[in-house]
Amino acid sequence: MTNKSLSVHRAALVAGAALLLGTLTACGSGGDSGASSAQTLSGTAAPATGGATTGSAIASVTASASAPGTTAGKTTLTVGEPSSAASKSRCHTSELRASVGRNDPGAGQENFPIVLTNTSSRTCTVHGYPGVAFLDASGKQLGPDPVRGWGTPKTVTLAPGRSAWAGMTFSNPGVSGAHAATPATLLVTPPDERDPLKVTWTGGPVPVSGNASTVRLMVFAPGTGS
């Protein structure tokens, strides 16, 4: 049942990416505001967790222990600085391992899950978007900073050894005609953190300039995305 749910989730990502690309081509960067609006996201600085909300927004969902996967409790939203409890529960870079899962291509799109795994001995949380940057062999960034795609950030609780994933999608440069380069490394910055994690990139060429060169990121969800 879990594998079926993840397959549906990734299929929705592929379909949604194609739809979003068409919408942005028509509306440009000044389209509708809201959680689905694309926003510039630094590859090395900590990404804000509140989507389109100004400032740092922490949303915590208390779910019923007797009904895993449901939202049976209350949802609270704090705008401004993260609370002390949220800060203490957040997963720090030193407690995580980053990896890139299997590509799930479709409709001219390349779709990779960016996975963060809790390697510490405590339970911690991630909330929002990762920071991402492609680097060449000399450490120079390739292409512009990715932008945020659609999705409503939710707090994902990670017990030791558990993972969360965020989708990363871009047009295949061989199809779109964008100028491409093959990165050596992918930098991944966990939400609200400043220190990135380095992952060897084996996913082939990525678009770095020209038509359809935008890389988009999705919010974190439980699991590995595969």
State how far the alpha carbon of 76 is from the alpha carbons of 51, 57, 91, 191, 217, in Å.
Answer: 16, 10, 20, 19, 24
The mean-pLDDT minimum among 11-20, 68-77, 104-113, 206-215 falls in 68-77
Q: Is the pLDDT of residue 198 over 90?
A: yes
Q: Is the pLDDT of residue 123 over 80?
A: yes
Domain ranges of the chain: 2-47+93-222
The mean-pLDDT minimum among 10-19, 21-30, 120-129, 184-193 falls in 21-30
- Say which DSSP state 28 is in: G
> β-strand 147-148 against 216-217: which pairing, if any?
parallel
Q: Is the pLDDT of residue 168 over 70?
A: yes
pLDDT band at 118 (very low <50, low <70, confident <90, very high): very high
pLDDT band at 87 (very low <50, low <70, confident <90, very high): low
| Reported pTM | 0.66
Mean pLDDT, range 96-118, rounded to an integer: 96
| 157 in Cβ contact with 125 (< 8 Å) | yes
Percentage of the chain lying above the pLDDT 70 cut: 62
Cα(118)–Cα(107) distance, rounded to whole angstroms? Answer: 33
